[in-house]
A and B are shown apart, each in its own frame.
Chain A
């Protein structure tokens, strides 16, 4: 009885070539090698592009301080020793600038005239003292000498100067002033509450009126902003609320309470918004109440009628109420000539200047500037303010980008974002350089920095993976990953156990031999 002649390997499978422990380990090892080699590929294909941002330079911006150097050139024309006055003023001004506040970013130096003519130096203002009425023109200020002679403490003069050089009080709510933009749309709208009720205003000579009252200002302000102008007339513009009936001098009238003014604009029914561009719009509205609501007055908080017919909506625009004089015929239509628009346009131009942040002249000073109502003192103050504002805002925006990218690890940072951040930093560097030579150039760089910084901040590419977390992908692929990983890990474990056992056995067998040898020895 002999068993059939099986090859010896079948009797002992470990003799088959692929059944040797070494081959098995090699097979297992190559599986793991594939997995491990695939890991970098997987990492590369699924990782988010996160370029490093120049964070240290951005953080360094917060340390930097933009300062403008202003030089006052005193010309006392012999009334008093200019050097003495200059020293006095310098002392007072140094105290004030040290306090910061409205003087933030300004260094003022006073020089007497006889020390040489500084008027060519950038940032120099000339103050003349003599028998003039106080007036400002170009970068010159003429001050009446009456105060200089009689009053030993020059505080009133310094106050006037402060109002010219640093007119923006820090506590002063700047909310009313619109944010800086290189281009604004000025939309002039005449709203008839209800033209069908009669006595409506059907037209206005707005183009002439704008050319007379608004354009001179716009020309002066063209160093800061560009303007697009448009106008329209609407014939049905109801209010969202009812004005309260009042009585003025025994006649029936209607009034708007101060709280009504905040909800005056009925945006649902007045088509004021413009859809074609992203430029901020400043609205100027001439509101003609319907014949049944006339006259319409603005009321003070105590219920008395206010003398003003105009009011300003912060950062939005201005509104002027217009009560046309009652014509004899109910259906007669009015057309506003540019002459009758004059008081209205004056209100509009005041509102425009207030919205754009043009500082008013101190009450004691008259403007003698030819062909404009804006002096260089005002424009310079506005330029400085806009530059500081832009630099501050772009610094903060860049800071938030860096912070945000640090916080959210899934946020991609593409080359365009990094490019914008770098360009913004370059523009900011240029701001610091050019601030010693030219305010206009500085403003250009600062507005460039701001627009680049906000473009980087609002880059749509940064949102890409925010809403599609990696967990979702893992969830979808778990049926594959889990079921492949289990046999791989189990095989490794099994192999490890087998290896350790075989090592132990070998050690034991070796130890046994040694024991035997010792015993024998």
Chain B
């Protein structure tokens, strides 16, 4: 063991020596804010904080037993770096969202991960001392501690590996064994201030200066939709990258007295940018300009690209505030039409039908908004609470059965109390057509201890994920052009719920019953029967 210590120390020293000679890894920090006034008077904002470590590589799990390199960071968050290296994570995506993203009205979000609740997926190398599942458990526990979220409950009862849907966003290093995917989502997790505070601590400028100073929890968590994300991936050129994002959709019409859609930093964030973050290499604010030209934007943008106004905050010393006003508009009139659907390839509706507590039917309605045929990867990951009956899977289009539209089905049946269901398939949606997919489900009967404290509320089911694909004639599904993922809203399932005072009632009732039976049998067996001699003859005489 002593030799091991010495060797470890020498090894560490050797690494310092090489690092001392080699160029120090350069770290870059870039921040940006994208603001998009939406068709229905709402304003979407996306904060993005990108940190990259040049020349850094993820840890190979084969080296998990050995002494790791020392970690020296300037702007990269050390707390996150420790977790990534401890569990040898190559790529990781964590999102915590609240609310329902309205694709038809708002179009695609800037960040694809908008599924309600918590979602975590990671690509990890295989091999080494700890298995992928052990490291996955360690990762979610460490992230749960870091972000104060209940990610610990993303256990094997919710973990799947939908490789087709969640393709890696960055490069996977070519190690001896292939990488593996782990994915889990927890729709009932709610994002709030306690998650934002640790999120802000990962930023080099916290919320003290730069664009991050606009992240005001009072305003953000009042928004119609809000969500945060942590994304780590390996860029083939720029090394390991971390992107921290915060998206929100504000409703200025709701918050203004006159029902106007004018907005400014003060009205939506409650703050302005007072100081520039000194370590940000780029710091830009992009405002997408609406199609109707009746607005005024202040201040004058640094430059305008097509329909995006750009503001550069680096080297700006005075406080910055942007505002957009529609001066000619007294009150905002909500548009009556659903808006332009052509920017979304698909519209999706998903419902769980049937009022019984034992069976139901899952129904998905998909509409192709485009005049071209569309392939869609369709993924359902369900906790074992729901079981699919695959033979009841039906697809209808134009009122007729169209079962040929589904292909590449892969199905992992659930194991009650242990493993979730995973259903992944490719759907072909003809141009400008709506298809209806139904599948029968049965609802499980839970054990007494498996019910949550608010059992009567029901169980949240994770969203389905759809990835639209454009596949040319001679291409396979894997080679097709991918559009960003689409998440359906989450569902709520009502399972048979017992009366929770029942166990005690049962104990007491059955005790009483057993006692009654016992008492009567026991009495019968041990009682001493005696014939009481009444005054016989007198009685007889009277009768006669």
A interface residues, Cβ below 8 angstroms from B: 1, 3, 10-14, 16, 18-19, 24, 27-28, 31, 194-198, 200, 202-203, 205-208, 210-211, 215, 218-219, 222-223, 226-236, 269, 271, 274-277, 331, 333, 440, 444, 476-477, 479-480, 483-484, 487-488, 491, 495, 498
Contacts and interface: CB of A to CB of B under 8 A. Distances in A.
A222 B208 contact: no
Given A207-B24, A231-B70, A487-B518, 13 more contacts: A13-B530, A27-B526, A205-B24, A207-B70, A210-B70, A223-B5, A229-B12, A236-B205, A275-B79, A275-B146, A479-B515, A483-B519, A484-B514
Contact of B72 (A1, A18, A207): A207
A382 B144 CA distance: 40
Given A10-B531, A27-B525, A194-B208, A230 B72 contact: yes
A218 B9 contact: yes
A207 B2 CA distance: 26
B17 A479 contact: no
Given A10-B531, A271-B79, A274-B79, A202 B6 contact: no
Interface in B75-108: 75, 78-79, 82-83, 86
Interface residues of B, number: 62
Contact of A275 (B145, B202, B206, B514): B145
Contacts of A229: 12, 70
B336 interface: no
Contacts of A495: 526
Contacts of B204: 233-235
B511 A480 contact: yes
Nearest to A277: B86
A223 B518 contact: no
B205 A196 contact: yes
A232 B438 CA distance: 54
A233 B74 contact: yes
Interface in B501-540: 504, 507-508, 511-512, 514-515, 518-519, 522-523, 525-526, 528-531, 536-537, 540
B332 interface: no
Interface string B400-411: 000000000000
Interface string B203-241: 011101110000000000000000000000000000000
B276 interface: yes
A223 B2 contact: yes
Interface string B468-508: 00000000000000000000000000000000000010011
B254 interface: no
Interface in B42-98: 68, 70-75, 78-79, 82-83, 86
B86 A440 contact: no
Nearest to A482: B515
Contacts of B146: 275
A185 to B, nearest CB: 9
Nearest to B279: A235
Contacts of B528: 13-14, 19, 24, 498
B79 A195 contact: no
A196 B277 contact: yes
9 contacts: A10-B531, A207-B70, A208-B20, A211-B13, A223-B2, A231-B71, A233-B204, A275-B79, A483-B511
B413 to A, nearest CB: 35
Contact of A230 (B70, B208, B508, B522): B70
Closest 7 pairs between A and B when the two form their complex, measured CB to CB: A196-B209, A480-B511, A13-B529, A483-B515, A479-B511, A222-B9, A232-B78
Contacts of A484: 514-515, 518-519
A488 B515 CA distance: 11
B402 to A, nearest CB: 51
B536 to A, nearest CB: 7
Given A232-B73, A236-B205, A491 B522 contact: yes
B295 interface: no
B390 interface: no
Contacts of A222: 5-6, 8-9
A476 B511 CA distance: 10
A230 B278 contact: no
B16 interface: yes
Contacts of B515: 479-480, 483-484
Nearest to A16: B529
